[in-house]
Structure formats: C-alpha cells, structure tokens
Amino acid sequence: MSTLRRLSQDEIGKLVRQGCSAENWDWIRVAPDFDAGRVVFTKFFGRVQIGSNNGSVEIDGIKKPCGMYNATVADCIIGGNVLISNIGSSIQRYIIEDNVIIEDVSVLVTTMGSRFGEGVQISVLNETGGRNVTLFKELSAQTAYLQAIYKNNDSFQEKLGSLINTHINQNDNDKGKIGKDARIRSCGVVQDVNIGPCASILGATEIKNGTILSCPEDPTIIGANVVARDFIISEGAVVDGGANLENIFVGQGCQIGKLLTAENSLFFANSEGFQTEVCSVFAGPYSVTHHKSTLLIGCMLSFFNGGSGTNQSNHMYKLGPVHQGIMERGCKTGSFSYILLESMVGAFSVVIGKHMTNIDTPDFPFSFLIEENGKSNLMPGINLFSIGTVRDEEKWPSRDRRKSALKRDCIVFDVFSPYTVEKMRRGRAILKDLYEKTPREVKTVFYGGVQIRRLLLKKGAKYYSMAIDRYLIGSIISKIEDFSSQSASLSDLGKLFHTGKHHLNVTRWTDTGGLLVMTDRIEILMKDVVDERISTIEKLLARIKEIHDTYRNDEWDYVCFTAEQEYGLSPRSLSRENMISLAEKWENAASSLNSLVLENTKSEFAEASKISYGVDLDPENRSRDFKSVRGTFDSNPVVAKLIQKKEQIGLRLQRFTALIENYPE
C-alpha cells in the first residue's frame, strides 16, 4: 500500500454517523484516497490498516462497491479494493491482500502462535502411530515417503525431523494471510487458516488450522459444507461436496468430495476421493476411490483404482489397529474385494474377491489375485495383456491436472521401468524354480500366502520373459535409433553401452511415492541428511528434483547392465548379427504381447457382452443395438490403435534391420 495516513475528524464523524465505532480512532490508518462513505456499520478493534477502497468487484454478475459493511475488524492489514461484508462475529489478525472478497462469513480469526496446519502429525499406515508424517507447506509425496518409510534409520529420522521443524519455525505466525484475489463467501468458521492467491472458499462449514495453497495459474477451491481441521491443501485442488477431513494433506490437482470422510491420510497429485471412508492411508499420485461402500485403511497406494466395496482390515483385536499393507503402483481392486493386512501386492495387479491370508507377492507384478473357494490364487503375469494396463500407460500423463509452475510431487509415469522389470526378473526366477521343484502330480504350489497352479508357473515365467525382452531390447533399439545420426560404425554404437562396475547398484529400485529411483540414491540422500550436507528443506527438495532428473540416465544404466546379463550384450560382443537377432527377439515379444492384448479385447465384444442389449429383440437386432451403443471390434479406436501398433512393430524391425545392415564394421 502507498503511504498511509490518519483519519480526519470529518471522516471519523462520517463513520460514526454511518454506525461505525473504534476502540481508538488513532490506531486506524488508511490510504490517501480512502472513501469513508464505503465503511458502514463496522467496528474496529486494535490497529487496523485499510487500503484504497474506491473500486468495485463483481459477484454473481452484480458489481458491488469495495469497502466494509456490517463487520467487526480487529488487528488487520487490509489491501486495496477489498470487499468485506456481513461478518457474523469478527475478522481478527489477518493480512488481507488486494482484491479480496469476504462476504457472509461467520468468523475469520487467527489466534496467536498459530502454525496454520504446519507441524500437524499424520499417522499414516499405522493408526496407532509409528509412521507419522509432519505436515509443512512444501510437503511432497517424496518427503512424506522419507518420513513414513525409513523408520529403521534413527539418525536420519532425527535429522529430517529437525530440518522440518526448523523450516516450520521460520514462518512468521503473528497474523494469518489471505492472498490477492481470494474469495471467501457464505462460510461458517474460518480459524487459523492461511489462504493463497485466487483461492475460492464458497460455503464451507468449518475450516480450522490449515493452509490453502493457491496461485493464479491453478486456483484452489473449497466448496459447500466442507469441514476440514488440521490440514494443508495444495494448488489446484478441489475439496467440496460435504467432505469431512481431519489431519489431512491434499496434493496438487486432487479432487475430494461427495461426502468423503478422511482422517490421518495423505492424498498426493491428481488423486480423487469421493464417497469413501479413508483412514491412515498414504495415497500416492493418481490414487482413485469413488464409491460409498469402500473403506481404505492402513495402506499405501499409488496409481490405484478402488472398486466399490473395497476393504482392508488392520484389526486383529490383539494389540489394536497396528497392521499395515502396501498395494504397489498401478493396482486395482474389484467390487467388494477384501485384503487382510499385513499384505503386499505386486505392482499393476488386480485383486478380486476376499483374501483372508496375509499376501506377500511384490515380485509378481502384472498379476491377478483371485479368491476361489476361500483360497487366494495368483495368476502371474496375466495383467500384462489386459487392455486396461495398455490404457494406464497412456492416460496418466494426459490426466495431469497440475497447472502451477511448481509441481511438488516428482512423478515417473512409466508402467514398464527398471522397477517393474527387475521385479519380473525376480518373479520369473521364482516361478521357474517352483516349476522345477514341483512334481508333475502336484497341481498347486503355495508361495507368499497364495496358491499358484503348476501350469501357470511356466506360463507366468514365459509372459514375464516376453515383457522383459520387449522392454530391454526395445530400449536398446530406441537408443540406437536416436544415436544413429551421430555414429559412423558399429564400434561407435558400442560407446552407448555402459558395462562393468557401477558405483551404484543399478538393479535395486524403489518407488518413493511415484518417483522411481535407484535405492542407492535414496541411501546416499539419507546419509547426506545425517552428515548435514543436506541442511535445509530447500536443499532436500533440490536433491529430490535432481534424482528425478537423473531417472532416464539411471534407466539406461540399468538397461545396459541387465542386457549383458540377459543376452550377453556388451561393446565387445556387438555385431551386426547379434543386433539383428536381438531385434527379431524384440519383434517376437512385442508382437506376441500385442496379439494377446488384442485377443483379450475381443472379449469386450463377445456374445456374453451383449446380454441386456436389445431388450425383447431378436438376436440380429440385439447385435444392432449393441453396435449402436458400444461399436464393433473393428471400429473401436483402442483396437484400431493396437492393430496400427502391430503394423508399426513389423515396420520398425524392417527399418532397424536396414539401419544395422548398412553400418560398416
């Protein structure tokens, strides 16, 4: 604001005639062009600063003059062109920036020493505590993961906690803040809440002790009948529809509403929560639950889709609700699925039915976990050729709702990656070993709390091998295609391959809340925190961003190392013959998997899918009805893309073969 001045005696007289009063008129400071005619029935307590108020704002298509009407204001700094109207109790201890609208609000106050949600402890995974995550404004999926998971490292946790507390204590908590162009209308109690620029709070019932981050590029919306206590909500999030939140973090681009009830939980980027009960859940990026009958409790998720009636149980009624579970990235649950915790389900698996034993299948990604006659049956690798998995690979990047220039969560979207491929390599070895050791007359083997039919041991290993070949050799082909313009001979291509000893173990990978990373990099990060080479939250966030930026290089190191193990491929063994042979192996794997996906998709158009179509019609007209609604296999755009992909696989092999054949030795 420009230089402020005291009120003149004429202005004070006018304000008094308009029903205004002040604890001490000498404590009021106003802008040079302050219009006293725009302050009516307003009481001032403590020291108040008021900016220019001669503008207007538009609300529901009606232009209203800025100013203060029917309000009590205490110890506030008010920017230019602010409208404050119809405040039931008071506005206390707030810095209100320019162009803010506050209308029909019961109470808007900041109490001394408020931390606005920072410092709140969230008991994720374990309801009774032990994996607490401390909220702070810059929290990301990765900093939460570091807090919640690595509890084995006491020194790291102590240092990390100190970094977070120091960061929180740097904030000035003397007054709350309402950012420029924010809108707060038709609300109940707003207490100890910092509100970012351009945020809209419309009809919330009660919000206490929180921070609502927002920005002009990605405004945050808090809607009707929301109750939120002890929270941080990030840019671009929408929380409405009577959601009831307590001890909660809501990440960028999240959508929460339709009476969702959640406590002690974290929702990271682009997650969606509707109509569900959520307790002690670490919901990594793109976790989705939409159904009334669903209970998510004591679990870690990411890229997750929960069917109606999904349920976990962490109650053994012995030492209380202490049991936790992990459903690795990309898992889905069928309607009324149930998992007894503790359990760990491999990435991109589908869970169907009620599972009453502790499941431990992290090395069997892309599987179906099906309950039959009360037993948990694993079908390893079956989900590799599900059309749903193909769609997943394409949809997540396109559904990133984050518009802020600062994207807090570091995400690697890849379905096939060193993380999942190394799991498939381990799973393949386990399946082969079980097959070799199991007598032919034995129909079923038991492993990790599940049973696997002997026939599926061999099939699952085969499916994993196909996916491994497609990924590893496909990555090599892509690298050579990109490099071909820079190379003149086969020996030049050999320079692409990094073999031999690595200073990091390239085969150990983890998923840190959506960021795929070599485990050694996380261990180095933790050591640097302990040794105080990472001494601030800003440095920690910068290191995480650096790790994210190294992903593609680390991935290539993994491909080179693993290709030597799988195929004996190294700079020394590089030849025209083995490169073409590998490309043909890739073509076979890629074509086979693509054909399996196409075959799987045909079931969507089979006769069984036409049941309930063409009511009271003969078979011919039933098919016409089905076609008009669902289309045909040949006309489906997903199918068309798969067919096109099959053709592209063959053409790519031809181009690559020609490329290699034309290289001089």
Task: Write out the two tokens for 574.
Answer: 């590089």
What is the identity of the amino acid at 253? G
Task: Write out the two tokens for 413.
Answer: 């979207």
Which residues, including other chains, have CB under 8 Å from residue 422's CB and lie 6 or more apart? 507, 508, 509, 558, 562
Domain range for 36 is: 1-109
pLDDT exceeds cutoff 60 at 406: yes
Residue 525, classed as helix, strand or coil, is: helix
Q: Is residue 224 part of a domain?
A: no
- Answer yes or no: do 644 and 583 share one domain: yes
Distance from C-alpha of 348 to C-alpha of 282, rounded to nearest angstrom? 17
Q: Is residue 598 part of a domain?
A: yes
Distance from C-alpha of 361 to C-alpha of 343, rounded to nearest angstrom? 8
Place of tokens 């559904």: 399
- Answer yes or no: do 6 and 102 share one domain: yes
Distance from C-alpha of 265 to C-alpha of 276, rounded to nearest angstrom? 13
User: In whole angstroms, how far apart are CA 642 and each of 388, 462, 638?
Assistant: 13, 22, 6
Check residue 292 and give its pLDDT: 85
- Answer yes or no: do 75 and 138 share one domain: no
Task: Write out the two tokens for 646.
Answer: 């099959």
> Left, alpha or beta for 516 (phi > 0: left; psi -120 to 50: alpha)?
beta
pLDDT exceeds cutoff 70 at 500: no
Domain boundary, last residue among 135, 169, 203: 169
Q: Is residue 373 part of a domain?
A: no
Distance from C-alpha of 513 to C-alpha of 167, rounded to nearest angstrom? 22
Check residue 180 and give its pLDDT: 97
CA nearest 143: which of 157, 125, 155? Answer: 157
User: In whole angstroms, how far apart are CA 639 and each of 34, 597, 630, 646, 648?
Assistant: 66, 9, 13, 11, 14
Q: Is residue 95 part of a domain?
A: yes
List the beta bridge partners of residue 74: 45, 92
Contact 33, 4 (CB under 8 A): no
Domain boundary, last residue among 58, 79, 109: 109
Contact 379, 365 (CB under 8 A): no
Distance from C-alpha of 505 to C-alpha of 136, rounded to nearest angstrom? 33
Lowest mean pLDDT among 406-420, 480-494, 509-523, 553-567: 480-494
Q: Dihedrals φ, ψ of 310, to 5°? A: -60, 140
Task: Write out the two tokens for 553.
Answer: 């290089």
Q: If pLDDT is split at 50, 70 and 90, which confidence band does 129 have?
A: confident
- Answer yes or no: do 580 and 621 share one domain: yes
* Global confidence as pTM: 0.93
Burial class (CB within 10 angstroms; exposed 0-12, middle 13-18, buried 19+) of 544: buried
Mean pLDDT of the 466-474 span: 97
Percent of the chain scoring above 90 in pLDDT: 75
Q: Is residue 557 part of a domain?
A: no
Q: Is residue 612 part of a domain?
A: yes
Contact 290, 335 (CB under 8 A): no
With both helix axes pointing from N to C terminus, report the angle between 537-549 and 154-169 in degrees, rounded to the nearest 10. 120
Task: Write out the two tokens for 255.
Answer: 């959508």
Lowest mean pLDDT among 150-154, 209-213, 307-311: 307-311
Mean pLDDT of the 491-511 span: 82
Residue 535, classed as helix, strand or coil, is: coil
- Answer yes or no: do 647 and 589 share one domain: yes
Distance from C-alpha of 86 to C-alpha of 97, rounded to nearest angstrom? 19
Contact 262, 283 (CB under 8 A): no
Regarding predicted confidence, which is higher, 433 or 322?
433
Check residue 318 and give its pLDDT: 64
Q: 281: which DSSP letter? A: -
CA nearest 502: which of 548, 447, 564, 457? Answer: 564
Check residue 2 and give its pLDDT: 59
The DSSP bridge pattern shows strands 311-313 and 338-340 to be parallel
- Answer yes or no: do 104 and 126 share one domain: no
Q: If pLDDT is split at 50, 70 and 90, which confidence band does 323 have?
A: confident
Q: If pLDDT is split at 50, 70 and 90, which confidence band does 573 have?
A: confident
Check residue 509 and give its pLDDT: 97
Domain boundary, last residue among 148, 169, 190: 169
Q: 23: which DSSP letter? A: S
Which residues, including other chains, have CB under 8 Å from residue 637's CB and lie 6 or more apart? none
Distance from C-alpha of 378 to C-alpha of 361, rounded to nearest angstrom? 9
- Answer yes or no: do 103 and 125 share one domain: no
Element (H, E) at 647: helix 637-661
Distance from C-alpha of 225 to C-alpha of 217, rounded to nearest angstrom? 25
- Answer yes or no: do 76 and 146 share one domain: no
Contact 283, 266 (CB under 8 A): yes
Please give the tally of structural domains in the chain.
3
Q: pLDDT tens-digit profile of 370-397?
A: 999 899 999 999 999 887 777 777 788 8
Contact 173, 211 (CB under 8 A): no
- Answer yes or no: do 98 and 126 share one domain: no
Residue 147, classed as helix, strand or coil, is: helix
Place of tokens 């929460």: 256
Check residue 489 and give its pLDDT: 73
Mean pLDDT of the 243-253 span: 97
Q: If pLDDT is split at 50, 70 and 90, which confidence band does 314 have?
A: low
- CA-based diameter of the chain, in Å? 103
Mean pLDDT of the 581-600 span: 91
Q: Is residue 422 part of a domain?
A: no
Contact 410, 417 (CB under 8 A): no
Regarding predicted confidence, which is higher, 173 or 596?
596
Residues in the chain, total: 665
Residue 373 CB neighbour total at 10 angstroms: 5
What is the identity of the amino acid at 32? P
Q: Is residue 470 part of a domain?
A: no
Q: What is the 3-state secondary structure (H, E, C) of 284-299?
A: CCCCEECCCCCEEECE
- Answer yes or no: do 96 and 19 share one domain: yes
Percent of the chain scoring above 70 in pLDDT: 97
Task: Write out the two tokens for 128.
Answer: 């009774």
Contact 49, 29 (CB under 8 A): yes
Q: 303: which DSSP letter? A: S
pLDDT exceeds cutoff 90 at 495: no
- Answer yes or no: do 52 and 74 share one domain: yes
Q: If pLDDT is split at 50, 70 and 90, which confidence band does 626 have?
A: confident
- Answer yes or no: do 89 and 158 share one domain: no
> Left, alpha or beta for 636 (phi > 0: left; psi -120 to 50: alpha)?
beta
Distance from C-alpha of 29 to C-alpha of 16, rounded to nearest angstrom? 16
Q: pLDDT tens-digit profile of 604-617?
A: 787 778 888 888 88
Lowest mean pLDDT among 176-185, 284-293, 312-321, 418-427: 312-321
Element (H, E) at 343: strand 343-345
Distance from C-alpha of 20 to C-alpha of 39, rounded to nearest angstrom? 8
> Left, alpha or beta for 602 (phi > 0: left; psi -120 to 50: alpha)?
alpha
Lowest mean pLDDT among 84-88, 302-306, 567-571: 567-571
Q: 8: which DSSP letter? A: P
Contact 333, 307 (CB under 8 A): yes
List the beta bridge partners of residue 445: 452
Check residue 601 and give its pLDDT: 81
